[in-house]
Amino acid sequence: MNEKEHPDTKSKYNGFDRSKIMTPVVSEHLMKLGCNISYPGNKKFAICLTHDVDDIYPPLSHRILSGLYSLKNKDWSGLKKHLFWNMDEKQESPYINFQKIMELEKKYNAKSSFYFMTAERDPRRFRYNIEDIADEVKLIVESGWEVGLHGGYYSFNDIDAIKREKRRLESVLGREVVGYRNHYLRFQIPDTWELLEKCGFKYDTTYGYTNMVGFRNGMCHPFRPYHLQSQQWMDIYELPLHVMESAMFDFAKPHEAWELIKQLLEKAELNKGVITVLWHNNVFSCPFRDRWAEIYEKILQYGVQRDAWMVSGEEIYKWWEENGYLLYNQSDPMG
Ligand SMILES: [Zn+2]
């Protein structure tokens, strides 16, 4: 896409006709059938806010890019903060920024989910030991935000790995973990759902695009997957993921990105749906990613203006379960 081109819904990207995935056709159909959905406090729709925590210590690429950025702007304290953060024992890693993110969300009466990694293996680099940030992780939950598991790169088809990772996170947290998203959005349908169900997860939110934004299965509503072989509804919710920031900024400039997100939010409002967004925590501590962080705040501002319920995946899944939305039975297809 060149700079002058507007990311309108007609443009094609990676062979996709974007208009098809910018419309939640399945959800629109369900609403036409008379599906009735409401939210706490009569909110108009919901925005599920999530953060994958891939790193808690800046990788080399961060140091180089942040260092160059600080030099260019003659920002000497920034240079020290990003390049030499671990020279001073008192100084914390810039990526341990959960408090900062929660403060931002609090300003807009919003809460979110943080998915942490406890996998031992990773194709890129060693990530982190969750035990190093036990206090920070506990504080997230004590403040009313959610902590979920960010399953390892190799874990999506390995039940022992998922179990091990879940147990490790829970022992640090001192409570059960119910939400899941796999690293790199790796997922096998329906196998990963089955494994997650067996491990006691209540919801997954991996189902989205790694190179696009939009409604991958035409839905802006959480749903319970149907298992074709066993012919049963599975005991887990899927909260489809609609926007992963890194995928979006790969092909869209910030002003284009905002237009795309706004289209998705408008569709969600029309269908009383849930839009799930993923902003990695590192975005909020990368000087060269400032524009990405600004777009996140814009979503929060928009949510306030349009009266959206902005919460964690855990709260969304609980609300859907309590109200039995989109649960099918023979007499009443809408539950
Ligand atoms: Zn990840």
Instruction: Tell me how far the alpha carbon of residue 81 lies from the centroid of ligand 1, in angstroms.
Output: 24
The residues placing their C-beta within 5 Å of ligand 1, an ion, are 52, 54, 183
The Cβ-side half-sphere exposure at 61, using a 13 Å CA radius, reads: 6
Instruction: Tell me how far the alpha carbon of residue 213 lies from the centroid of ligand 1, in angstroms.
Output: 17
Instruction: Tell me how far the alpha carbon of residue 299 lies from the centroid of ligand 1, in angstroms.
Output: 21
Mind listing the domains of the chain with CATH numbers?
12-57+95-323 (3.20.20.370), 60-92 (no CATH)
Instruction: Tell me how far the alpha carbon of residue 96 lies from the centroid of ligand 1, in angstroms.
Output: 16
d(CA 216, CA 23) in angstroms, rounded, equals 10
For the chain, strand residue ranges (E) read 12-13, 16-17, 45-53, 113-116, 146-151, 179-182, 203-204, 226-227, 232-233, 237-238, 243-244, 274-278, 308-311
Tokens read off for 262: 């706004």
> What are the pLDDT digits (tens) for 167-214?
999 999 999 999 999 999 999 999 999 999 999 999 999 999 999 999
* Nearest CA among 11, 23, 2 for reference residue 220: 23
Tokens read off for 72: 């260019």
Instruction: Tell me how far the alpha carbon of residue 91 lies from the centroid of ligand 1, in angstroms.
Output: 25
Instruction: Tell me how far the alpha carbon of residue 153 lies from the centroid of ligand 1, in angstroms.
Output: 8
Instruction: Tell me how far the alpha carbon of residue 276 lies from the centroid of ligand 1, in angstroms.
Output: 16
Q: Which residue has the tokens 């409604």?
A: 215
pLDDT of residue 331: 43
d(CA 31, CA 37) in angstroms, rounded, equals 9
> What are the pLDDT digits (tens) for 84-139?
777 666 568 899 999 999 999 999 999 999 999 999 999 988 899 999 999 999 99
Instruction: Tell me how far the alpha carbon of residue 216 lies from the centroid of ligand 1, in angstroms.
Output: 19
* Nearest CA among 302, 298, 183 for reference residue 244: 183
d(CA 273, CA 331) in angstroms, rounded, equals 24
Instruction: Tell me how far the alpha carbon of residue 130 lies from the centroid of ligand 1, in angstroms.
Output: 15
Tokens read off for 118: 């406890």
pLDDT at 15 over 80: no
Tokens read off for 122: 């990773």
> What are the pLDDT digits (tens) for 64-88?
887 788 888 888 877 777 777 776 6
Q: Which residue has the tokens 């489809």?
A: 240
> What's the pTM value of the predicted model, to 2 decimals?
0.91
Q: How far from the centroid of its chain's Cα atoms is residue 36's Cα?
A: 25
pLDDT of residue 9: 44
Instruction: Tell me how far the alpha carbon of residue 304 lies from the centroid of ligand 1, in angstroms.
Output: 28
Instruction: Tell me how far the alpha carbon of residue 116 lies from the centroid of ligand 1, in angstroms.
Output: 9
Instruction: Tell me how far the alpha carbon of residue 270 lies from the centroid of ligand 1, in angstroms.
Output: 31
Q: What residues are paired with 147 via a beta bridge?
A: 114
Tokens read off for 16: 């996709």
